[in-house]
Structure 1
């Protein structure tokens, strides 16, 4: 296996479905703890309507106060031109636009159809590139939809091709938003994506809803992934997807990668400490397992 970037999405996807709302101070501390652990790409904020997703309120204030260090890149999730304007004004380093792959989920999540989300993502990528900002487009519910069921992989590859042809983002991410995917699907989508968007790095986003997230992440890495999303503590979920539980946990993933000889540059114990801090802030048990079992061999 090769080296891989771990993208910490806890400050965004990890918090967006939690009932406890963190303050700006707490969000900044959370991000700082991730950076202190060695994370160098953080999906720090989401520029969405705070009335719809109150957990993401205060994005501008968070970005004003995050630690600005050489080599650390902050990502803002955006859905449209207004979100991009807010992101650019907040001096993000990257933007992540979202295309939802099914009509029903797209209308519930973003209030418009798939074609509209593709067009919006293309516009975001073009305008962000003109502003000198790196771009990712994430294809949500790429493995399955909670409302309409199976998603045809050929349809996902058609979306990939359109994004590559019309926008050519710096990165394409495929997201198992509700945690239904298995490694065979990962291999298939990785192959299709490489064929339809040659030369564009692949990023992958997995949830562990059905206990397949880590197997999927390792399969994506073997299939050529350049980046994997994970969330400290394994917190997270989509507020518009019923029963969508947490992301794969950053510390559990780093353990698997370290033991597999994959370099991440991230200190596992600092992630465990950050997860324990976050669990207290959210008044919830930490879903991740590493903090309970500890590393192996045990530290002396």
Structure 2
């Protein structure tokens, strides 16, 4: 580390409980008491959290939320460059995961400032763990676009994603989002809606997306995390005429129209549509049939 870096402070990202105060990391109280600057998404929640932990915050408290994150980052960076220990907390979970923090971390890294974390509760990992869906490979997609068209396009781009997918969503948009997922992924795709994780009214509703849409029709309350199973792995399709013809026939047997089946096989095999069309409509040669 350079001499300049030795004179800088430390940025600490601290996870906060997503529900029960008893889930707070043991180090959180010490960091709250010892930080020279505490940047909080909601200063009122911060003070309530400190009270529940029985700790007095000795450092300066500043607000740091989505609306002022970009404008306030340079001032916090200046505190770090002046050698101060800056603690960043959000309302729940780990800062920078669909919460403020990324800009400050990026600025700190760019200026060779040490960045560390107090690990702890995470709605992403908690929902994934209790969902009952595969956890060996997953991706986090955060909040989907609010506008229906943009949301549909984002989900369409994820339709072939083979990893389990984790999303955040507002309760009043949950049914609309589940309906868009059903349309993009199919009603039989399995998902889990995790509501109020670790809180008194925790609920995990699992099932096909079509059923989850019906369940959400009466309204959903509380913090919501949605986990959706990934797409089934696609078997590679050989590109010889007989294999292309057989792949189209398989799709037709499942109820897919011939035109759509030809397009799907061409996409999956990575060949021009005309090649698949010719394989289906031209008589096989004696050599192929032999």
Compute the TM-score of the two structures, normalised by the length of structure 1: 0.29
Tell which structure's C-alpha radius of gyration is larger. Answer: 2
Compute the TM-score of the two structures, normalised by the length of structure 2: 0.29
